[in-house]
Amino acid sequence: MKIVFRTATALGVLALFLANSVSAQNTKIYSDISANELAGLLNAAQLSTTITTGPSGEPLVVAQQGGLRFIARGVNCIGDADARCSKMQFRASFALDEQPSATWMNEFNKSWVFGKAYVTVDGVARVEYPLDLTEGITEGNLIHNFVVWVNILETFIDHLSGGEIAPLM
């Protein structure tokens, strides 16, 4: 399988998030987040964003950097870009010439406890990462979760393209 784009390195994204979003004095706690706030944090990491609404009325943030595009969707919340969502899901989809096998996907899933990969019934490879803010997390931990998502996504893309990466655990 051939993937024609590469993401920024996770360390590069981490540095951008830390430099642009978090100060040592910032103790903001998120128990929910709006699409507007999420888009602002992703924009601070040099991702372009578009806010829209999903098929069930949930707010969606479409984020893009180069050839990579993913969505962050509000879960169990309906409304415009100011709706408060206590759960989010990051998702990226890849239409491939060749459908990955269950064995291939399971190999990836064994290595990433906090994300999951699967193939849809129409043959699209998908990777997801849930984010639960219900009891509140600091802005620093929220940003850490974005970095985890980028790591999952980079590893998934490397796995799709058969690249050499850090060992799958």
152 has pLDDT over 70? yes
**Residue 44: per-residue pLDDT:** 82
Q: Which of 24-38, 52-66, 95-109 has the highest mean predicted lDDT (pLDDT)?
A: 52-66
Parse the chain into domains and list their residue ranges.
Answer: 10-20+27-160
Q: 122 versus 30: which is more confidently predicted?
A: 30
The per-residue pLDDT for range 85-95, each reduced to its tens digit, is: 999 999 999 87
**Residue 158: per-residue pLDDT:** 80
Among 8-12, 27-31, 135-139, the minimum mean pLDDT is found in: 8-12
98 has pLDDT over 70? yes
The per-residue pLDDT for range 156-167, each reduced to its tens digit, is: 888 777 653 333
Q: What is the DSSP string of the chain?
A: ------PPPHHHHHHHHHHHH--TT---EESSB-HHHHHHHHHHTT-EEEEEE-TTS-EEEEEEETTEEEEEEEES--SSTT--BSEEEEEEEEE-SSPPPHHHHHHHHHH-TT-EEEE-TTSEEEEEEEEE-TT-EEHHHHHHHHHHHHHHHHHHHHHHHT---SPP-
| Average pLDDT over every residue of 103-131 | 86
The fold of the 10-20+27-160 domain, in CATH, is Yope Regulator; Chain: A, (3.30.1460)
Contacts of 72 (CB under 8 A, 6+ apart): 35, 38, 42, 60, 61, 63, 88, 89, 90, 91
Model confidence band, residue 125 (pLDDT cutoffs 50, 70, 90): confident
